[in-house]
Amino acid sequence: CQGAAGKWGLVSALSADAMALLRGVWGVLNALGKSGADLCAGCGSRLRSPFSFAYVPKWFSSSLSGYPKKPMTSYVRFSKEQLPIFKAQNPDAKNSELIKKIAKLWRELPDSEKKIYEDAYRADWQVYKEEINRIQEQLTPSQIVSLEKEIMQKRLKKKALIKKRELTMLGKPKRPRSAYNIFIAERFQETKDGTSQVKLKAINENWKNLSNSQKQVYIQLAKDDKIRYYNEMKSWEEQMMEVGREDLIRRSVKYPAKSSAPGSQEQSRFCKVKRNLTCKVAHLSGDLPPGLQIP
């Protein structure tokens, strides 16, 4: 029971972390004047249903037979029904465009029609939960311990993936490439024969056979890319500070605070002189607070 309680604690923490990251990126996108529609098509349905964000891990599906599939949410069930219809009506359209149209249709759907899908999901969820409880009762203490470790690994992996997607949507610059990586990318497109592994092996041998003067070309390209990365990161981090996302700033980098007025520096110096003078006057009158020294 203790292991099961720990399991559900980890699951709750995972959901909280994911939601915090989603709220953060949504706020920044709004601050930057961008739309968050592409972040989560049909998120309205998930927010409507209290079951939508529930997460139940797969317990050792390889050793336990009859593992049930997680039921489709009300929106997923609706979109699965509508997608073939939209494809038939728009054969040349991309799936991403069709999904947006289906999401719009779902948002405009009357509550009475949405309730049909939501009731079906709740019924399927109840059956699914009962089956999960049955399987959970079969777990041994050692399996529960192993499961907790698996959940922790999935939690960290999912958190890192969500963070990566968040940074991509916020337009974080790509890291600079090394001279070797630039050479690989250039030659990989030119090499047409063989599998990817064979190509990489051949390109690696070509890199080793390059002279120092030939490698210098790619070394210079790598230096230029590093300068590009530095300039883009500086601009991006300043933008993140403006929208209140200091948590995305590298710890080793500190940017000076922007002045609120043109004469703020002069005003700051004036305040410092005034403070020093006040301390000296207080010292002469014997009113200097304990521990405060005259500059």
CA-CA distance, 42 to 263, in Å (whole number)? 50
> 265: pLDDT confidence band, cut at 50, 70 and 90?
low
For residues 56-84, give the mean pLDDT.
Answer: 72
Top mean-pLDDT range of 137-146, 162-171, 282-291: 162-171
pLDDT in tens, 82-107: 999 999 999 898 888 888 899 999 99
Rounded to whole angstroms, how far apart are CA atoms 70 and 55? 9
pLDDT band at 69 (very low <50, low <70, confident <90, very high): confident
Cα(24)–Cα(36) distance, integer angstroms: 11
Give the CATH fold of the 2-169 domain. DNA Binding (I), subunit A (1.10.30)
Q: What is the DSSP string of 212-278?
A: HHHHHHHHHHHHHHHHHHHHHHHHHHHHHHHTT-GGGS-TT---PPPPSSTTHHHHHHHHHHHHHHH
Confidence of residue 151 (pLDDT cuts 50, 70, 90): confident
Evaluate whether 155 touches 14 at the Cβ level (below 8 Å).
Answer: yes
- The pLDDT of residue 281 is above 60: no
Q: Is 83 left (phi over 0), alpha (psi -120 to 50) or beta?
A: alpha
Which pLDDT band, with edges at 50, 70 and 90, does 16 fall under?
low
Cβ of 195: how many Cβ atoms within 10 Å? 8
Contacts of 68 (CB under 8 A, 6+ apart): 127, 128, 131, 132
- Where is pLDDT greater, at 262 or 144? 144
- For the domain made up of 179-248, the CATH class stated in words is mainly alpha
Share of the chain above pLDDT 90, in %: 33
Residue 282 in this model has a pLDDT that exceeds 70? no
Global model pTM greater than 0.85: no
For the ranges 159-168, 189-198, 245-254, the one whose mean pLDDT is highest = 159-168
3 state SS of 156 = helix
Considering the chain, what percentage of its residues have pLDDT values greater than 70? 62
212-258 pLDDT, tens digit each: 999 999 999 999 999 999 999 999 999 998 888 888 888 766 555 54
CA–CA gap between residue 277 and residue 20 (Å, rounded): 48
**Mean pLDDT in the chain?**
74
Q: How confident is the model at residue 263 (pLDDT cuts 50, 70, 90)?
A: low
**How far apart are the C-alpha atoms of 73 and 46, rounded to whole Å?**
8
pLDDT number for residue 109: 93
Is the pLDDT at 210 greater than 90, yes or no? yes
Half-sphere exposure of 97 (CA within 13 A, CB side): 8
